[in-house]
Amino acid sequence: MDLSFETLAIDKPEPGIMVVTMNRPQALNAMNTLMMTELRDCFTALYGDQRGVNCVVLTGAGNRGFCAGADLKERDGMSDEVWQRQHAIVEQLIRAIMDCPVPVIAAVNGVAMGGGLEIALATDFIYAADTARLALPEVTRGIMPGAAGPTNLPRACGVRRAKEIVMTGLPFSAAEGLEWGVVNRVCTQETLIDQALETAKRIGENAPIGVRQAKKALDKATELDRASGYAFELEAYYRTMPTEDRLEGVKAFNEKRKPVFKGR
Protein backbone atom coordinates (compact mmCIF):
# COMPACT_ATOMS: atom_id res chain seq x y z
CA MET A 1 0.00 0.00 0.00
CA ASP A 2 1.52 3.36 -1.09
CA LEU A 3 1.16 5.83 1.79
CA SER A 4 3.10 8.74 0.25
CA PHE A 5 0.91 11.85 0.06
CA GLU A 6 1.41 15.61 -0.16
CA THR A 7 -1.66 16.72 1.82
CA LEU A 8 -1.98 13.79 4.23
CA ALA A 9 0.35 12.63 6.99
CA ILE A 10 0.20 8.91 7.71
CA ASP A 11 1.42 7.47 10.99
CA LYS A 12 1.28 4.05 12.61
CA PRO A 13 1.88 4.79 16.30
CA GLU A 14 1.11 1.23 17.40
CA PRO A 15 0.70 -2.12 15.66
CA GLY A 16 -2.67 -2.28 13.96
CA ILE A 17 -3.42 1.45 14.31
CA MET A 18 -3.19 4.00 11.48
CA VAL A 19 -3.56 7.75 11.97
CA VAL A 20 -4.52 9.74 8.87
CA THR A 21 -3.98 13.48 9.35
CA MET A 22 -5.34 16.02 6.87
CA ASN A 23 -2.34 18.29 6.58
CA ARG A 24 -3.16 21.78 5.31
CA PRO A 25 -3.22 23.62 8.66
CA GLN A 26 -2.67 27.00 7.00
CA ALA A 27 -6.15 26.58 5.45
CA LEU A 28 -7.80 24.88 8.46
CA ASN A 29 -7.25 21.65 6.48
CA ALA A 30 -9.75 22.72 3.83
CA MET A 31 -9.85 20.28 0.94
CA ASN A 32 -8.39 21.34 -2.36
CA THR A 33 -8.64 18.96 -5.31
CA LEU A 34 -5.37 17.28 -4.39
CA MET A 35 -6.47 16.54 -0.81
CA MET A 36 -9.81 15.20 -2.05
CA THR A 37 -7.95 12.91 -4.43
CA GLU A 38 -5.46 11.75 -1.81
CA LEU A 39 -8.17 11.04 0.78
CA ARG A 40 -10.02 9.00 -1.83
CA ASP A 41 -6.88 7.10 -2.78
CA CYS A 42 -5.91 6.45 0.86
CA PHE A 43 -9.25 4.90 1.82
CA THR A 44 -9.59 3.09 -1.51
CA ALA A 45 -6.23 1.47 -0.81
CA LEU A 46 -7.48 0.38 2.62
CA TYR A 47 -10.51 -1.22 0.98
CA GLY A 48 -8.22 -3.46 -1.02
CA ASP A 49 -5.49 -4.08 1.54
CA GLN A 50 -6.01 -3.94 5.32
CA ARG A 51 -2.93 -5.95 6.22
CA GLY A 52 -1.60 -4.64 9.50
CA VAL A 53 -4.44 -2.11 9.96
CA ASN A 54 -7.23 -2.90 12.42
CA CYS A 55 -8.48 0.64 13.12
CA VAL A 56 -8.01 4.12 11.63
CA VAL A 57 -8.06 7.50 13.38
CA LEU A 58 -8.79 10.42 11.03
CA THR A 59 -7.91 13.92 12.23
CA GLY A 60 -6.60 17.32 11.14
CA ALA A 61 -3.23 18.99 11.59
CA GLY A 62 -2.93 21.70 14.23
CA ASN A 63 -5.47 22.54 16.91
CA ARG A 64 -7.79 24.90 15.03
CA GLY A 65 -9.24 22.84 12.23
CA PHE A 66 -10.31 19.28 11.56
CA CYS A 67 -11.42 20.24 8.06
CA ALA A 68 -13.08 23.49 6.99
CA GLY A 69 -14.72 21.81 4.00
CA ALA A 70 -13.89 22.45 0.38
CA ASP A 71 -11.27 25.11 -0.34
CA LEU A 72 -13.53 27.96 -1.51
CA LYS A 73 -10.55 29.97 -2.74
CA GLU A 74 -9.90 27.21 -5.26
CA ARG A 75 -13.60 27.05 -6.11
CA ASP A 76 -14.00 30.81 -6.65
CA GLY A 77 -15.09 31.26 -10.27
CA MET A 78 -14.93 27.52 -10.97
CA SER A 79 -17.04 26.49 -13.94
CA ASP A 80 -19.95 24.10 -13.54
CA GLU A 81 -18.07 21.46 -15.51
CA VAL A 82 -14.92 21.63 -13.37
CA TRP A 83 -16.98 21.81 -10.14
CA GLN A 84 -18.86 18.66 -11.13
CA ARG A 85 -15.63 16.81 -11.93
CA GLN A 86 -14.22 17.84 -8.56
CA HIS A 87 -17.38 16.80 -6.74
CA ALA A 88 -17.17 13.36 -8.36
CA ILE A 89 -13.88 12.92 -6.47
CA VAL A 90 -15.65 13.94 -3.23
CA GLU A 91 -18.37 11.36 -3.90
CA GLN A 92 -15.72 8.69 -4.39
CA LEU A 93 -13.84 9.60 -1.19
CA ILE A 94 -17.02 9.61 0.92
CA ARG A 95 -17.96 6.18 -0.41
CA ALA A 96 -14.42 4.98 0.25
CA ILE A 97 -14.61 6.08 3.91
CA MET A 98 -18.07 4.56 4.41
CA ASP A 99 -16.99 1.33 2.70
CA CYS A 100 -13.71 1.05 4.61
CA PRO A 101 -13.67 -2.50 6.05
CA VAL A 102 -11.85 -1.47 9.23
CA PRO A 103 -13.40 0.91 11.79
CA VAL A 104 -12.65 4.61 11.32
CA ILE A 105 -12.78 7.07 14.24
CA ALA A 106 -12.93 10.81 13.50
CA ALA A 107 -10.95 12.88 16.01
CA VAL A 108 -12.41 16.34 15.38
CA ASN A 109 -9.77 18.67 16.77
CA GLY A 110 -11.29 21.98 15.63
CA VAL A 111 -13.54 23.44 12.96
CA ALA A 112 -15.51 20.84 10.99
CA MET A 113 -17.57 22.71 8.43
CA GLY A 114 -19.43 21.59 5.34
CA GLY A 115 -17.59 18.74 3.68
CA GLY A 116 -15.33 18.51 6.73
CA LEU A 117 -18.27 17.59 8.95
CA GLU A 118 -19.56 15.27 6.23
CA ILE A 119 -16.23 13.43 6.25
CA ALA A 120 -16.54 13.00 10.02
CA LEU A 121 -20.14 11.77 9.64
CA ALA A 122 -18.95 9.19 7.09
CA THR A 123 -16.71 7.57 9.73
CA ASP A 124 -17.98 5.07 12.28
CA PHE A 125 -18.09 7.54 15.16
CA ILE A 126 -16.75 10.90 16.28
CA TYR A 127 -14.67 12.10 19.22
CA ALA A 128 -14.45 15.89 19.39
CA ALA A 129 -12.38 18.47 21.23
CA ASP A 130 -14.42 20.70 23.53
CA THR A 131 -13.36 23.67 21.40
CA ALA A 132 -14.63 22.16 18.13
CA ARG A 133 -17.31 23.91 16.08
CA LEU A 134 -19.37 21.93 13.59
CA ALA A 135 -21.78 23.01 10.85
CA LEU A 136 -23.27 22.26 7.47
CA PRO A 137 -23.50 25.83 6.12
CA GLU A 138 -24.00 24.99 2.43
CA VAL A 139 -27.48 26.55 2.19
CA THR A 140 -25.93 29.89 3.18
CA ARG A 141 -23.63 29.59 0.14
CA GLY A 142 -26.20 28.80 -2.51
CA ILE A 143 -26.03 25.00 -2.51
CA MET A 144 -26.79 22.14 -0.12
CA PRO A 145 -24.69 19.43 1.55
CA GLY A 146 -23.75 16.84 -1.07
CA ALA A 147 -21.20 14.54 0.60
CA ALA A 148 -23.69 12.23 2.34
CA GLY A 149 -24.40 14.70 5.15
CA PRO A 150 -28.17 14.58 4.58
CA THR A 151 -27.86 10.78 4.47
CA ASN A 152 -25.64 10.22 7.51
CA LEU A 153 -26.71 13.03 9.84
CA PRO A 154 -30.32 11.84 10.42
CA ARG A 155 -28.96 8.41 11.29
CA ALA A 156 -27.01 10.05 14.11
CA CYS A 157 -29.38 12.64 15.51
CA GLY A 158 -32.81 12.00 13.97
CA VAL A 159 -34.41 13.66 10.98
CA ARG A 160 -35.95 16.63 12.81
CA ARG A 161 -32.67 17.74 14.37
CA ALA A 162 -30.89 17.08 11.06
CA LYS A 163 -33.37 19.34 9.25
CA GLU A 164 -32.67 22.13 11.74
CA ILE A 165 -28.91 21.78 11.34
CA VAL A 166 -29.00 21.64 7.54
CA MET A 167 -31.72 24.20 6.86
CA THR A 168 -30.35 26.89 9.20
CA GLY A 169 -26.69 26.28 8.39
CA LEU A 170 -25.87 27.38 11.94
CA PRO A 171 -22.81 26.03 13.77
CA PHE A 172 -23.08 23.94 16.92
CA SER A 173 -20.66 23.02 19.67
CA ALA A 174 -19.11 19.67 20.49
CA ALA A 175 -21.22 19.57 23.66
CA GLU A 176 -24.40 20.06 21.60
CA GLY A 177 -23.20 17.40 19.18
CA LEU A 178 -22.79 15.02 22.12
CA GLU A 179 -26.27 15.79 23.41
CA TRP A 180 -27.79 15.26 19.96
CA GLY A 181 -25.96 11.99 19.18
CA VAL A 182 -23.67 13.40 16.47
CA VAL A 183 -20.59 13.11 18.71
CA ASN A 184 -19.72 10.09 20.84
CA ARG A 185 -17.31 11.74 23.26
CA VAL A 186 -16.08 15.25 24.05
CA CYS A 187 -12.44 15.55 25.11
CA THR A 188 -10.05 18.35 25.89
CA GLN A 189 -7.86 19.45 23.01
CA GLU A 190 -4.87 17.97 24.84
CA THR A 191 -6.39 14.51 25.37
CA LEU A 192 -8.40 14.11 22.13
CA ILE A 193 -5.91 12.09 20.13
CA ASP A 194 -4.85 10.00 23.12
CA GLN A 195 -8.47 9.05 23.84
CA ALA A 196 -9.15 8.27 20.20
CA LEU A 197 -6.02 6.12 20.08
CA GLU A 198 -7.00 4.37 23.31
CA THR A 199 -10.33 3.37 21.75
CA ALA A 200 -8.65 2.45 18.47
CA LYS A 201 -6.23 0.22 20.38
CA ARG A 202 -9.11 -1.45 22.22
CA ILE A 203 -10.86 -2.14 18.92
CA GLY A 204 -7.61 -3.26 17.32
CA GLU A 205 -7.02 -5.84 20.03
CA ASN A 206 -10.27 -7.62 19.17
CA ALA A 207 -10.66 -10.27 16.51
CA PRO A 208 -10.25 -8.39 13.19
CA ILE A 209 -12.66 -10.54 11.21
CA GLY A 210 -15.29 -10.35 13.95
CA VAL A 211 -14.98 -6.56 14.16
CA ARG A 212 -15.26 -6.11 10.39
CA GLN A 213 -18.24 -8.42 10.09
CA ALA A 214 -19.94 -6.65 13.03
CA LYS A 215 -19.33 -3.30 11.33
CA LYS A 216 -21.08 -4.55 8.18
CA ALA A 217 -24.05 -5.84 10.16
CA LEU A 218 -24.39 -2.62 12.14
CA ASP A 219 -24.27 -0.51 8.98
CA LYS A 220 -26.97 -2.62 7.35
CA ALA A 221 -29.16 -2.39 10.46
CA THR A 222 -30.07 1.21 9.60
CA GLU A 223 -30.75 0.42 5.95
CA LEU A 224 -32.93 -2.68 6.10
CA ASP A 225 -36.12 -3.75 7.84
CA ARG A 226 -35.57 -5.74 11.03
CA ALA A 227 -36.02 -9.20 9.50
CA SER A 228 -33.70 -8.44 6.58
CA GLY A 229 -31.19 -6.84 8.92
CA TYR A 230 -31.10 -9.93 11.09
CA ALA A 231 -30.71 -12.15 8.02
CA PHE A 232 -27.67 -10.07 7.00
CA GLU A 233 -26.36 -10.23 10.57
CA LEU A 234 -26.51 -14.02 10.54
CA GLU A 235 -24.61 -14.19 7.25
CA ALA A 236 -21.94 -11.96 8.77
CA TYR A 237 -21.90 -14.05 11.97
CA TYR A 238 -21.44 -17.36 10.16
CA ARG A 239 -18.37 -16.00 8.38
CA THR A 240 -16.64 -15.74 11.76
CA MET A 241 -17.31 -19.36 12.75
CA PRO A 242 -14.65 -21.16 10.67
CA THR A 243 -11.87 -18.76 11.70
CA GLU A 244 -8.82 -19.52 13.80
CA ASP A 245 -9.63 -16.44 15.85
CA ARG A 246 -12.90 -17.99 17.07
CA LEU A 247 -11.01 -21.01 18.38
CA GLU A 248 -8.36 -18.78 19.94
CA GLY A 249 -10.97 -16.62 21.67
CA VAL A 250 -12.61 -19.59 23.37
CA LYS A 251 -9.28 -21.19 24.22
CA ALA A 252 -7.91 -17.97 25.74
CA PHE A 253 -11.05 -17.53 27.85
CA ASN A 254 -10.73 -21.00 29.29
CA GLU A 255 -7.01 -20.58 29.88
CA LYS A 256 -7.65 -17.22 31.59
CA ARG A 257 -5.29 -15.27 29.32
CA LYS A 258 -5.49 -12.53 26.75
CA PRO A 259 -6.27 -13.87 23.25
CA VAL A 260 -3.80 -13.45 20.41
CA PHE A 261 -5.85 -12.82 17.29
CA LYS A 262 -4.30 -13.20 13.84
CA GLY A 263 -7.14 -12.13 11.58
CA ARG A 264 -7.68 -15.52 10.08
Would you please indicate which residues are annotated as catalytic (active-site) residues?
70, 115, 118, 138
Q: What are phi and psi of 3, to 5 degrees?
A: -115, 30
Cβ neighbourhood burial of 225 (10 Å; 0-12, 13-18, 19+): exposed
Pair 20, 38: CB distance under 8 Å:
no
User: What span, in angstroms and rounded, lies between the C-alpha atoms of 156 and 148?
Assistant: 12
Q: What is the DSSP string of 128-194?
A: EETT-EEE--GGGGTS---SSHHHHHHHHH-HHHHHHHHHH---EEHHHHHHHTS-SEEE-TTTHHH
Strand partners, 187: 129
Residues with Cβ within 8 Å of 119's Cβ and at least 6 positions away in sequence, in order, are 39, 58, 67, 93, 94, 97, 106, 112, 147
